[in-house]
Amino acid sequence: MSSVFGMPRSYEEGFEGLIDEERPLFTREIFQRRLDTYLAQCDLKIDLDEKVVRGLHRRCYRFLQRKQALPKLRSLIQSKDWRTRKKRNVQLLRRFGKLEAELKKYRSRQLPLTDTYMKCILRKIGVIRNELAWTKDVQKLNEETVKVSLRPQLLSQFVAELQGHLKLQLRDARKWQIHQLIAGVLYGMNVLSSAEEADEAVENIVARIHRAKYALRREAMKSGWSEDV
């Protein structure tokens, strides 16, 4: 395990490994107790079975992991080490591309030994180039992941995701009930410190959802993805 930003050696696979390492103090028992307290206080009559509560806790826990990891990830992609690695990777891709093109000139059917040798070398260079190209793509994806987490605010994204999830889980629930339940979830995960604060947050939930959808739609248009977000 590397000590740089707590970064695992396998970080090339993405930032999910870094996020997985975060351990927020957030048990299902605490979440259940706080959620039940809020639902009772606001007298929200909605059926939440164990499967739904378990799924909500899992999503909340993942959100808290991402929230804790985000400052580390942002520091990482802004570091000199990250920028240098990105630059070196591009340079190596170009150099191996030129080398590959040069070695292809040496292939000849009239010289079978030389041709076989060049073919073997080119195969190894191809593997290295594929590795470099893959690393470049993953590094870009990691940067975009952090940027999207900052635009819109991470909590707004989470609220929008919660609404979509709860619509599928509670098909008979009305929109206002889902918004009230989202406020309860935020209180349950201690993002909102009091039930009174959760009541006030209900009005802001719709605004957060609209901000998240607008920002994600704008990001999709920038990337050339025309489907609805």
Would you state the pLDDT for residue 109?
A: 83
Task: Measure the CA–CA gap between 179 and 5, rounded to whole angstroms.
Answer: 37
Our CA angle for 48, 50, 56, nearest 5°, is 75
Would you state the pLDDT for residue 148?
A: 67
Would you state the pLDDT for residue 205?
A: 80
Residue with tokens 């959100």: 63
Going from the first residue of the chain to its last (229 residues), give the mean pLDDT of each consecutive group of 10, the final group possibly shorter.
43 69 90 88 82 92 90 88 92 94 88 92 94 89 76 76 89 87 89 69 75 63 49
Same domain, 192 and 159: yes
- Domain around 179: 1-78+151-229
Same domain, 70 and 86: no
Would you state the pLDDT for residue 5?
A: 40
Long-range contacts of 14-17 (CB under 8 A, 24+ apart): 14/138, 14/141, 14/142, 14/145, 15/69, 15/73, 15/142, 15/145, 15/146
Task: Measure the CA–CA gap between 189 and 226, rounded to whole angstroms.
Answer: 35
CA 33, chain centre distance (Å) = 28
**Inter-CA distances, 208 with 50, 159, 184, Å:** 27, 7, 15
Would you state the pLDDT for residue 93?
A: 94
> pLDDT tens-digit profile of 130-164?
999 998 988 888 888 787 666 557 788 888 889 88
Same domain, 171 and 125: no
Same domain, 62 and 165: yes
Examine residue 200 and state whether it is found in any structural domain, yes or no. Answer: yes
Residue with tokens 């994600």: 216
> Structure tokens of 151?
């635009």
Would you state the pLDDT for residue 108?
A: 85
Examine residue 64 and state whether it is found in any structural domain, yes or no. Answer: yes
Same domain, 29 and 63: yes
* Residue 36: partners with Cβ closer than 8 Å, 6 or more residues away: none
Task: Measure the CA–CA gap between 67 and 50, rounded to whole angstroms.
Answer: 26
Left (φ > 0), alpha (ψ -120 to 50) or beta: where does 5 sit?
A: left
Same domain, 101 and 70: no
Would you state the pLDDT for residue 116?
A: 92
Same domain, 73 and 159: yes
Number of H helices, E strands in the chain: 8, 0
Would you state the pLDDT for residue 86?
A: 92
> Structure tokens of 100?
């590959």
Q: Give the count of alpha carbons within 13 A of 133, CB side only.
A: 10
* Residue 117: partners with Cβ closer than 8 Å, 6 or more residues away: none
Would you state the pLDDT for residue 1?
A: 41
Same domain, 125 and 207: no
Same domain, 11 and 114: no
